[in-house]
Structure 1
Amino acid sequence: MAAKKCDVPQNINEEYYQISSEILSSFPKYRPPVDLFSFREDIAVLAPYCRKGDRLSNAQVEEVAQLCADGMLFVSRSDHPIYSRHIVKQLDLVLQDRNLKEAEIADICIRALVMRYGEFYAQPVKLLFEPLYRDLMVVTEYLFADKHRVIGFARRLFHVQEPARHALNCLSLGLWLWMQSVSEMRRKDLDRVALALLLHDVGMSKVPAFVVNKKGPLKQEERDKIILHPLLGVKIMQKMDISFEELIRACFEHHERLDSSGYPQHEPGSRISRIGRLTAVVDSFSAMIMDKPYGSRREPADAARELAQDNRYDAEFTRPLMAAFAAQTFGQLIDMDAHLVEAAQQ
């Protein structure tokens, strides 16, 4: 017999998540990691069912499953840090949970990608690329359903210099810029652009940490190591048989400049691909707003304005970026470094 869904008052979902069967099945069977609440139809309120960490009996496990099937099982939004840490590890669950708010989904997706990218960057092999790819495809599926959702990602910026954080800045802002520039968004194109933006700087994983973190000026031999990283990124991806055009171009061209002053090839603007020009803008912007061993960061609006005044970068992308920050298109910006620290303490 099909489960009968109860009519739950809408205001309950402001303070509680209604758990889906998919999410419940991903919890430890006998010790749920969150407080559970059941809906009492007779008085139209939620009542505590069990505390987080309590061991359920076999009968309670069956009862919880039935409550969930009937749409009568909830978790408090005060448990959001625990709930989101759980979903971060199984990101496809954000597509199943219709009670998550857009801001919550953006937070969870970014945290998942930071985790997956960090693991891949530390050891760039196919085995660690696959979970990163799966999670990125969850994000593109979510954004493809409604391109306006990308604003929730674009307002969440990192300021601590770290590879995964830099990659997420570039992904979020790069996708927003790309979506403004296309008249028709195809899922295949979205997937490829997203992967290119996220992985464009993976060659830096092969540059010694002492060079990357050096506070003073680089010696010539140290600069040479930096200059090689676009080529190293291409080689890493080709070794894994992941070498479609957008990704290779983003890896190889993100430090090229329209006036041929970039590297490694000193290509003129006419020979730099569109994805290369886009990636150059967001890569430089992210670097400018991050704290670095050799200098302080700029405010996002100042960094965007500076890029728009620099003719080495493509105005097709720098002008919309400057206009967005000037008009506060993204709304109140969120410092994701502080946000993650706060979530970890809860």
Structure 2
Amino acid sequence: MVDQNRQAREVPQNINEEYYQISTEILASFPKYRPPVDLFSFREDIKVLAPYCKKGVRLSNEQVEEVARLCAEGDLFVSRSDHPIYSRHIVKQLDLVLQDNNLKESEIADICIRALVMRFTDFNGQPVKAVFEPLYRDVMVVTEYIWQDKHHINAFVRRLFRRHDPARHAINTMTVGLWLWLQLVSDFRRKDLDRMALALLLHDVGMSKVPTFLLNKQGPLKAEEREKVLLHPLVGVKLMQKMDMAFEELLRACFEHHERMDGSGYPQKIKGPQISRVGRITAIADSFSAMICEKPYGQAKDPVEAVKELAADPQHYDPEMTKLLMSVFATEGFGRFVDMDKSLDEPL
């Protein structure tokens, strides 16, 4: 019988650079008899990996047992070149990213974003509690990862989408808003982080009730069409209240993300300090996300251009927050950006 508590074997660093050391939880997510990836076993005698089986090849019962043993002993690996296939299983069981110590920070961010896109798209199409629960669980995985080290948010910022759809906009807004919030608060509880992430992600949930043809309309909206769009903050609040998710941060994000510092926003036309910090953060993150994404009715702006435009508009946006955002984007402080749209388009 395999000792499940046995520690994974240490292997040369160059191997971990090119291969994943599979955990028992990840292995359990694979089809039992036909692994979807090439498997490799670690040869202790010569300190190298040897091919064990090819992807899709059926294993015998004896091989299934041997694979389980190799995995429990830390001797089972998969090539990082199979990352898209490997990711498919973790995307559907996102909590596994917290159990796999061999995933790189960039890989974790990529997997988390893919999972959120999948879950949010489902929820946006059917905004009911049963569909919300998987999204909620995955957001909790993301916040746990950021709770471990708040700098993990930077890998998410490097993966901002540049094409618009409801899920991409929601995730962009959550990412930028969380980054801002983490710079502004020095002492917070895990519960605060959870609520802020959910609030930012769901700020535009009321738009799920706006007809798609209005969202994609290229010309100006008619008065009655515009009225439907302007109601989405209130619709979002009511939706989340029905799901017993009406906590303060979420209500503020839904209701205040179109308010402006000079009172010219909607729906309440409040201004300055009347707008909560959550509302001001969400307004900036929401506008920034809209500006950098290509839409049917408008071209995308470069992120640096967008943040400079926001910073030059203190009448509408909190100047302290926009300057903070500009200080990083303008100096390329986040490092090299990843084309997440292209990555998402590639089939897993």
Q: 2:319 aligns with which of 315, 319, 337?
A: 315
Match for residue 338 of structure 1 among 318, 336, 342: 342
Deviation at 1:29, TM superposition (A): 1.0
State how far apart, in whole Å, the 2-side matches of 1:47 and 1:270 are: 64
Q: How does 1:263-302 map to 2 (within 5 A)?
A: 263-302=266-305
- Specify the code of the residue in structure 1 equivalent to 2:326: M
* Structure 1 pair 298–7 and aligned structure 2 pair: CA distance change class (3 A): closer
* Equivalent in the alignment of 1:92: 95
Matched position secondary structure for 1:75:
strand
Alpha-carbon offset, residue 111 of structure 1:
0.5
Q: Cα offset for 1:270? A: 2.5
In 1, Cα distance between the equivalents of 2:338 and 2:206?
Answer: 28
Identity of aligned residues (%): 70
Structure 1 residue 53: deviation in Å? 0.9
Deviation at 1:184, TM superposition (A): 1.3
Distance 1:46 1:58 in 2: 23
Number of the residue aligned with 2:113:
110
Structure 1 unaligned spans of 5+ = none
Report the Cα distance in structure 2 between the residues aligned to 1:101 and 1:4, rounded to whole angstroms: 20
Instruction: Provide the C-alpha distance between the structure 1 equivalents of 2:167 and 2:226, rounded to a whole number of angstroms.
Output: 22
Q: Does 1:127 align with 2:119?
A: no
TM-score w.r.t. the length of structure 1 is: 0.97
Shift of 1:4: 6.5
Of residues 146, 153, 156, the one that matches 2:159 is 156
Cα shift readout 1:233-262 (whole Å, capped 9, x = no counterpart) = 001000111100000110011001111111
1:66 and 2:69 aligned? yes
Letter in 1 for 2:17: E
Structure 2: distance between partners of 1:340 and 1:155: 14
Q: Secondary structure at the match of 2:154?
A: helix
- 1:23: which partner in 2? 26
SS state at 2:163 partner: coil
8 Å Cα contact 1:179-1:185 kept in structure 2: no
Matched, 1:175 2:173: no
Structure 2 residue 59 is the aligned partner of structure 1 residue 56: yes
Equivalences for 1:3-18 in 2 at 5 Å? 3=6, 5-18=8-21
What is the DSSP-based 3-state SS (H/G/I as helix, E as strand, rest coil) of the residue aligned with 1:49? Answer: strand
How far 1:43 sits from its partner (Å)? 1.5
Output the CA distance in 2 between the equivalents of 1:56 and 1:275: 53
Distance in 1 between residues matched to 2:235 and 2:335, nearest whole Å: 37
Structure 1 contact 207–226 (Cα < 8 Å) conserved: yes
Taking the aligned partners of 1:204 and 1:101, their CA distance within structure 2 comes to: 35
Q: Is the 8 A contact 1:199 1:251 kept in 2?
A: yes
Answering whether residue 161 of structure 2 is matched by residue 190 of structure 1, we say no
- 1:249 aligned to which of 240, 252, 256: 252
1:326 maps to 330
Letter in 1 for 2:196: V
AA of the residue aligned to 1:151: N
Distance 1:43 1:21 in 2: 24
CA distance in 2, matches of 1:119, 1:5: 37
Q: d(CA) in 2 for partners of 1:122 and 1:306? A: 33
CA displacement, residues 49-105 of structure 1 (integer Å, 9 cap, x when unaligned): 111111111111110000011110000001001001111010000001000000000
The whole-number CA distance in structure 2 between the counterparts of 1:207 and 1:68 is: 49
Question: Quick check: 1:40–1:47 contact (8 Å CA) kept in 2?
Answer: yes
In the alignment, what sits opposite 1:232? 235
Measured after TM superposition, the shift of residue 5 of structure 1 is: 4.4
What's the counterpart of residue 258 of structure 1?
A: 261
1:201 aligns with 2:204: yes
**Are 1:193 and 1:246, in contact at CA under 8 Å, matched by a contact in 2?**
yes
Q: What CA deviation, in whole Å up to 9, does each residue of 1:2-29 have, x standing for no partner?
A: 4474331121000000001111111111
Return the alpha-carbon distance in structure 2 between the equivalents of residues 332 and 200 of structure 1.
Answer: 28
Instruction: State the secondary structure of the residue aligned to 1:108.
Output: helix
List per-residue Cα deviations over 1:105-152 (Å, max 9, x = no partner).
000000000100000000000001000000000000000000111100
